[in-house]
Amino acid sequence: MTKILVLDPDSCTSCRLCELACSQRNFGVFRPSLSHIRVAINAEDAFYFPMVCIQCDDAPCIEECPTEALVRDPDTNAVVVVEENCTECGLCESACPYGAIRVFDGRAHKCDLCGGDPECVRFCAAGALRYESGESWPREQRQAYAEQLRNLAEEVKA
């Protein structure tokens, strides 16, 4: 069975180590603004929400990409960017209902599950991020989380 990134926002403490680990692995610097995962913070309500690509089954980003720069990795089932095909058109960014793709530095950037060993999970001491069998996070829960993420992404964009 394919593994998935399981997200538990109730366990998130907003330490943001996931962002630091991701930016270090992918860019060689500790800079949360470059991270493929972002922790949305609502200080008034002490509400923290990890925002990351949930590797949609229907993947609207793949459908919208005119240059086949987004493909599904057969080993991890993650949607990955084929850098040499990316023209930085931004259609994938617009198509993503979760705000999980950003286009900068000449290409699209998104979570690729670190090739099957997500760095963010390794540094999440609170257990808000786990890489587990798809059975551990039932489809209904994933869909409910995705809906929360979509609503939050809309708030962040506004």
Tell me how far CA of residue 89 lies from CA of 68, 95, 140, 153, in angstroms.
Answer: 12, 12, 33, 20
Going by pLDDT thresholds of 50, 70 and 90, the confidence category of residue 1 is low
Tokens found for residue 76: 């991890």
pLDDT at 133: 87
pLDDT at 157: 58
Q: For the segment 64-100, what is each residue's pLDDT rounded down to a tens digit?
A: 999 999 999 999 999 999 999 999 999 999 999 888 9
Please state the domain extents for the chain: 3-154
> Which CATH code fits 3-154?
3.30.70.20
Tokens found for residue 9: 């926002």
Average pLDDT of the residues of the chain: 90
What number of residues does the chain have? 158
